[in-house]
Amino acid sequence: MTPLTYEQAGVDYDKIDPLKVAAQRAAASTATQLARHGFSEVQASRGESAYVVDVGPFYLASIVECLGSKALVADEMARLTGTSHYASIAQDTIAMAVNDLITVGATPLVVQAYWAAGGSDWFGDAARSTALVEGWKRACEICGVAWGGGETPALAGIVEAGRIDLAASCTGIVNPKQRLSVGDALAAGDAIVMLGSSGIHANGVSLARKLAERLPQGWLTPIDERGTRFGDVLLAPTTLYSPVTEALWQAGIAPHYSANITGHGWRKLLRHPKALTYRITHVPPVPPVLAFIAEHAGHDAQEAYSTFNMGAGFALFVAAGDAQRCVDVARAQGIEAWVAGRVDAGPKQLLIEPLSLRFGDEALQLR
């Protein structure tokens, strides 16, 4: 059996990357427009997970994020079992936006819904529509954001019949301004605190879908002795981390930097451009669904940790003296956390010592 790679899952980054680079350059050139209004961008936020503008009394942060292909898993499970997982899918979509927005130190305030269906029929399924609405509302409540509104277009000819393209935009503020976290304070000696994930979240799903095609019972394949089905466990909703970042601020802790562990898995720990060594000394337990995928996709640890969150969905880089308190604050919010390692002086690399893994600077090229 040949191992499954992300490239086989159908996304060819060689085709997307030239456009991305052109778009990033064009976008960067528009920063000067803000001067017309007496404002300026936080230049260090270019290349970060959310874009930040200095509007005087505080910073403004904004973002739009796509769910990706996870809704296709929900569609398959609904077809096979009759159960709608769209409440979870709603939370996943909001998590994509909120978990990115908070990395810069922002408090998310407003979420807008982007629900583009392949036709009006999609919205006619009352159970599914209700699950989506209720899940969206619940996720907003967990994050303490107002659901501002959104769009529910029917896009026959663009979105496939029976499918939905889900995205969320989120706007927040960094207030007070010293909460801004774009890596200025990130330095050797910092501790790395990792926050637990609920499973695959919404990254690596295309690969999981390829894997389902290979499994004898497909989406219904049991992944443990209790008969937990692959499709069900894959649809566990993404953990929302904003309650933790808000509680940290209340506790007087301002992270030096944060990384949302999404696409590229743990390589996201290399996100900041500074030349620093990230040394992981404790690896969180791997969620059963991710262990299952790694085993059946034929992934070694290097491949698995460079693709999936492997149990840690968010990383906080904090002053060493704040590390244990950081863990306590997260646990008080019901989210598992670990002091997982530290930042050292040295070449830019990620060392996962318990697994003897190394990822160099070249492993993550986002800018």
Q: Which of residues 169-208 bind its own copies (CB under 8 A)?
A: 169, 171, 173
| 204: region left, alpha or beta (phi > 0 left; psi from -120 to 50 alpha) | left
Residue 342: partners with Cβ closer than 8 Å, 6 or more residues away: 189, 190, 191, 192, 279, 281, 320
Pick the closer one to its own copies by CB: 75 or 322. Answer: 75
| 334: region left, alpha or beta (phi > 0 left; psi from -120 to 50 alpha) | left
Given 55, 351, 363, 366, the residue binding its own copies (CB under 8 A) = 55
Contact (CB, 8 A) for 313 and 17: no
**Both structure tokens of 192:** 């790395």
By CB under 8 A, the residues from 110 to 139 that bind its own copies are 110, 112-114, 116, 119-121, 123-124, 126, 129-130, 132-134, 136-137
**Binding-residue total with its own copies (CB under 8 A):** 88
CA distance 19 to 15: 8
Interhelix angle 242-250/323-332, nearest 10 degrees: 120
Given 4, 6, 59, 63, the residue binding its own copies (CB under 8 A) = 63
CB of 129 to its own copies, least distance (A): 4
CB of 120 to its own copies, least distance (A): 4
By CB under 8 A, the residues from 12 to 41 that bind its own copies are 12-16, 18-20, 22-24, 26-27, 29-31, 33-34, 36-37, 39, 41
Give CA angle at 227 (225, 231), nearest 5°. Answer: 130
CB of 178 to its own copies, least distance (A): 17
CB of 190 to its own copies, least distance (A): 26
CA distance 258 to 254: 10
CB of 343 to its own copies, least distance (A): 26
CA distance 345 to 73: 43
Given 4, 71, 208, 283, the residue binding its own copies (CB under 8 A) = 71
- Strands 312-318 and 257-260, by their bridges, are antiparallel
What number of residues does the chain have?
Answer: 367
| 108: region left, alpha or beta (phi > 0 left; psi from -120 to 50 alpha) | beta
278 counts as binding its own copies under rule CB under 8 A: no
Pick the closer one to its own copies by CB: 9 or 289. Answer: 9
Residue 47: partners with Cβ closer than 8 Å, 6 or more residues away: 24, 273, 366, 367
Pick the closer one to its own copies by CB: 59 or 278. Answer: 59
Q: Which of the stretches 158-166, 183-191, 299-307, 324-332 binds its own copies when contact is defined by CB under 8 A? A: 158-166
Given 92, 165, 190, 322, the residue binding its own copies (CB under 8 A) = 165
By CB under 8 A, the residues from 78 to 117 that bind its own copies are 107, 109-110, 112-114, 116
Pick the closer one to its own copies by CB: 164 or 323. Answer: 164
Given 4, 78, 167, 350, the residue binding its own copies (CB under 8 A) = 167
Contact (CB, 8 A) for 350 and 358: yes
Q: Which of the stretches 50-58, 221-229, 284-292, 294-302 binds its own copies when contact is defined by CB under 8 A? A: 50-58
